[in-house]
Structures are given as structure tokens and as C-alpha cells.
Amino acid sequence: MRPKAADRCGSPRRNHRLRTRGPQDLRYPGLVRATLRSLLDPPLATDPAHDTAKLAWILRLRWIALGAQLVAIAPALAFELLEPPLLPLFVGVIALVGAFNLVCWIRLRRGAHATQSELLGQLFVDIGGTSVLLGLSGGAWNPLVPILFVHAGLGALILDGRLSLLFFGLLISSLVVLQVFSHIPPALEDALVPSHILFPAQLLVAMAFWFLTAWLSGSLTRLHQHFASLAERKTRIDRLRAVGALAAGLSHEIATPLNTAQLRLARLGRNEALADHPDVEAAREALERCEDVLRNMAGAPLRPDGLHLEVVDVDELVEEVCSSVAHVHEDAAIAFKPQGRGPRRALLPPVAFSQGLIALIENAVEAAGDAGPIDVVVRSGPRRVEVSVVDRGAGWPEVVRNHIGEPFVTTKPDGVGLGLYYVHSLVEAIGATFRVEDRAEGGAIAHIDLPALTGKLA
């Protein structure tokens, strides 16, 4: 006889219980575990400079601090640091701060965003609640007073500028209040340090915490900004390299048919006696312009084998370039203005650098028109040599400023947007920096910042 289903798998009632126990029965314990994990997880996935991440950090630390206060109640009663009549008030303060923290935590989980002012208020709640708990159990003479010093570090780490200074002032005020308004339990009555000794010592420790943390926080912030700047620069360089490779391939593919078109056009002009015909001349000029554009796109001077670095006197090279351009643009007032003492030397490719500087000066001449002279300024610092081209035109167009160094970005009707791209690529290739800005009195400035050679290398 075959056994019944109930005999093989247990009683129907027990089987029903097993079937009905699924994920829904574990819903609430799982939710509790997930909540506990979220309380202890550090905000590493969020930008550490974001105020909302800082608020999450404060709320998590407050849960830990409240738990420590509850655990400390029993030892405090045993060692007579907390008197039993004050216990309800002590627990009430902890419950009040806990309820406040819970409300803030729920608000944060719903997607609220914090501000610096809110962070100041959160830390003020912390030092206020901590001061009341300390005041009930010995005040400034309570062994747990260093908790306030931790808040000094938190304020310097989380708050910016004046708000951090304001919070430090509130913290010192709480130390003063604890000196004056405190309930001294029996366990501390015979071990009180005089206030004129205790308060300066606590003030010194709080200041040390605040200054040290503020200095470390500022250093880390600047380091983070530096790394972000390097990452952005690397991304830009990678993008420019990709565009350059594409342009080089495109120019290589088009060069052969372009040369063929030039040769056939020249042959047609000779055979048909059309060499001086306006249409043929216009076509020849258009093909030559296409050839120049492709040559710039290929970036032949910027290839590693095309960059012949030499130790160059920057003043002499820039002066020669200014003189050369001035002979071409006789109507333009191009002035070479060295500032400070020379000689200023740098390691750079003279030909390629001269071509880039000529492009900047000609761009300034075209932009300025009759607006005024073009100044080419060379100045030096301890480790840098800066070459600046200054004009009195309309300034840099916004699209050029936002996409500096990218090819095919131009506001000129007949431009192709390769001049600044060439300069930017050259400057990046030799380890220098290129930036543009508007002149305060009107006009545009292009800066090339070169590493200077010093000592025996110069």
C-alpha cells in the first residue's frame, strides 16, 4: 500500500505551516537588519564634500553616542557619578535626543538634502544634549568631558569657514556653563580640581582639537580638489588624443585624392589654357586651404618624433616671433614687453612653439582690429615662465572658453577652429599649461605657462 501524502511529508497541518513560512515572515527581521547595516555603513559611496553625506555621518555617530550613554548609566549609578533622583531626567534627555535623531534619519532616508546651517544646528543639538547630561553628573569634572573635545574636531571637519568658528565659540560657551552650573555627585566632591586650573586646561585641549582638525580638513580638501583637477585634465588629454588620432587618420585618407585633384586641376589649366581663369584660381586656392587644414589636423609637428626639444631663451624667441609677425601685419601695433630680469630659459621645440605663438598673435590681431595694440608679455616666477598675448578686442566668446583646446570650435565665419587646438595640444605635449581669460579693461588674454629651467640646466 502506498503511503499517504501526509505520511511522506508530515501532517497536513505541519505541511501548511512550512509552506506559509516564506520571505514575508522574514520581512520585518530583514528590515531591521538592513536598517542596522545602513546605520553603521560609512558614507563612502557619496561625495565626502556633500553636506548630505556629512549629515548622514552625524546621525550615525549620534546613534552610537546615545547607545554609549545608555550603557554608561549602570556604571555611573554604581560609582555614584549619577544620583538616582536624577535618573529620569537623564534618561529623558537621551530619549529626547534619540527622537530628534530618528526624525532626522527618516527625513534623510526620504531624500532630504542638508545645508551648512542645518549641520551647525545638528552639532549644536549634540553639544547641548551632551552638556545637559554632563551637568547632571559632575559637569566640567565629569571624566567624560572629553566627548565635547570630539565635537570640536567634528565642527572643524564638517563645517566651513565662519560657521566652524561660530560652533567653536558655542562649544567654549558650553564649557563655561559646565563650570558654573553643574551638579556635583558624592563621588566627585573630594576630587575637584580648582576651576582656574581646570578650565584653561580644557580650553587648551579643545583649541588643539579644533585647530588640528581644521588644518587636516583643509589639507584634505585641497588634495581632493587637486586630484579632481588632475582627473579632469587627464580626461581632456585622452579626449584630445582620440580626436587627434581620428584627425590624423582622416587626413591620411583624404591626402591622396586631394593631391590627385590638385594635379588634375593643374594639368587641366595647362592643357586648356585656363591657368589664369578666376574659377580655376579659386578652385586651386580652395584645394590649398584644404591641404593646410589637413596638415594641421594631422598634427605632424606634435608627434613625439617631430618635437625637437631645445634649451631656449624665451625672451629672444618671443621677440623674434613678434618682429616676424609685425612685418606681415604692418598695420598692427605688436609690442614685445618683457617683465622682470632675464634670461628666462625653458625646454621646448622652437619651431612648433613659434608656430603656436604666431597663431595666438594673429588671432589677437584679427580679434582686436583697430581697437588697440597687441602686447606680448613675458614674465617669470621661481619655477615658471609665462608668455601672454593681450589684445583690446571683444574678449573670448563663451563657446571658446567652455571648449578651449577642442578642435573645430570657432566663431569665425571662415574659421575651422584648429588654431587654439594646435596651441593647446602643443602646450600639453611639452608639459606646460594653456589658459585664456578676458582682460579687465576689455579684450582677451591667452597665457602659456612654461616650466622654467634653473641652475645648471639653464
CATH number for 375: 3.30.565.10
pLDDT at 100: 94
How much is the mean pLDDT over the chain? 77
Q: What is the pLDDT of residues 138-190, one digit of tens each?
A: 888 888 788 888 888 888 888 888 888 898 888 888 888 888 887 888 777 77
Residue span of the structural domain in which 324 resides: 304-457
Q: Are 186 and 308 contained in the same domain?
A: no
> Rounded distance, CA 305 to CA 14, Å?
82
Q: Are 327 and 187 contained in the same domain?
A: no
Q: What is the pLDDT of residues 339-383, one digit of tens each?
A: 877 678 888 888 888 888 988 888 888 887 766 788 999 988 778
Nearest to 306 by CA among 405, 449, 430, 404: 430
Last residue of a domain, one of 142, 157, 192: 192
Nearest to 425 by CA among 311, 297, 321: 297
Last residue of a domain, one of 150, 165, 192: 192
Last residue of a domain, one of 176, 192, 208: 192
Q: Is residue 261 part of a domain?
A: no
> Rounded distance, CA 196 to CA 402, Å?
60
* Grid coordinates belonging to 337: 614687453
> Rounded distance, CA 210 to CA 168, Å?
8
Inform me whether the pLDDT recorded for 12 exceeds 50.
no
Q: Which of 47-56, 128-137, 199-208, 212-221 has the lowest mean pLDDT?
A: 47-56
> Rounded distance, CA 200 to CA 233, Å?
49
Q: What is the pLDDT of residues 99-130, one digit of tens each?
A: 999 999 998 888 888 888 999 999 999 999 98
pLDDT at 288: 75
Report CA dihedral (109, 115, 119, 120) to the nearest 10 degrees: -160
Give the predicted TM-score (pTM) of the model.
0.46
- For 81, the enclosing helix (H) or strand (E) is none
Please tell me the total count of domains within the chain.
2
> Rounded distance, CA 409 to CA 399, Å?
8
Q: Is residue 245 part of a domain?
A: no
Q: Are 179 and 310 contained in the same domain?
A: no
Q: Is residue 20 part of a domain?
A: no
Q: Is residue 212 part of a domain?
A: no
What single-letter DSSP state applies at residue 406?
Answer: -
pLDDT at 4: 44
Q: Is residue 313 part of a domain?
A: yes
Q: Is residue 209 part of a domain?
A: no
**First-to-final CA distance of the chain:** 105
Outline where 136-277 has alpha helix (H). 146-158, 161-180, 195-271
